[in-house]
Amino acid sequence: MAANNLQEFVKELRKAGELVDVREPVSAKFEITEIADRVMKKGGPALLFHDVLGSEHPLLINTFGTRERMAMALGVEDLNEIGDRIADLLELTKGPGKGLMAKLQLLPRLVEVSKFPPRTVRSAPCQEAVYRGDEVDLTKLPVQTCWPEDGGPFITLTMVHTRDPENGEKNAGMYRVQRFDKKTVGLHWQRHKTGAAHFEKAKKMGQMLPVAVTLGGDPATIYSASAPLPPGISEFVFAGFLRKEPVKLVKCVTHDLEVPAEAEIVIEGFADPEEPLTLEGPFGDHTGFYSLADYYPAMEVTAVTMRKNAIYPSTIVGRPPVEDVGLGYATERIFLPLARLTMPEIVNYHLPPEGIFHNLVFVSIDKQYPGHAWKVGAGMLGMGLMSLSKVIVVLDKDVNVEDTSEAWWVTLNNIDPERDIRMMPGPIDVLDHSSRAFSFGSKMIIDATNKWKEEGFDREWPEKIVMSDDIKQMVSEKWGRYGIPLD
Ligand X SMILES: Cc1cc2nc3c(=O)[nH]c(=O)nc-3n(C[C@H](O)[C@H](O)[C@H](O)COP(=O)(O)O)c2cc1C
Q: Which of 245, 324 has the CB closer to ligand X?
A: 324
| 285 carries an active-site annotation | yes
Looking at residue 162, its amino acid is T
Q: Which of 166, 366 has the CB closer to ligand X?
A: 166
User: Minimum distance between the CB of residue 287 and ligand X, rounded to whole angstroms?
Assistant: 12
User: Minimum distance between the CB of residue 155 and ligand X, rounded to whole angstroms?
Assistant: 10
Q: Which of 301, 324, 326, 318 is nearest to 141 (CA)?
A: 301
Residue of 37, 150, 218, 285 with catalytic role: 285
Q: Which of 161, 221, 152 is nearest to 189 (CA)?
A: 161
Q: Which of 267, 365 has the CB closer to ligand X?
A: 267
Q: Which of 213, 448 has the CB closer to ligand X?
A: 213
User: Minimum distance between the CB of residue 195 and ligand X, rounded to whole angstroms?
Assistant: 6
CA distance 267 to 288: 28
- In order of 7, 269, 311, the CA distances from 264 in angstroms are 9, 17, 6
User: Minimum distance between the CB of residue 382 and ligand X, rounded to whole angstroms?
Assistant: 16
CA distance 238 to 220: 9
- Using CB under 6 A as the criterion, which residues of the chain lie in contact with ligand X when the complex forms? 156, 171, 173-176, 188-190, 193-195, 226-228, 315, 317, 324, 327, 385
Q: Which of 130, 233 has the CB closer to ligand X?
A: 233
CA angle 49, 54, 59 (to 5 degrees): 25
How many other C-beta atoms can be found within 10 angstroms of the C-beta atom of residue 2? 20
Q: Which of 241, 312, 251, 223 is nearest to 122 (CA)?
A: 251
- In order of 56, 287, 485, the CA distances from 214 in angstroms are 18, 25, 53
User: Minimum distance between the CB of residue 161 and ligand X, rounded to whole angstroms?
Assistant: 10
- In order of 118, 120, 127, 250, 251, the CA distances from 256 in angstroms are 16, 12, 14, 9, 6
Given a contact cutoff of 8 angstroms between Cβ atoms, the answer to whether 264 and 235 are in contact is: no
Catalytic residues: 285
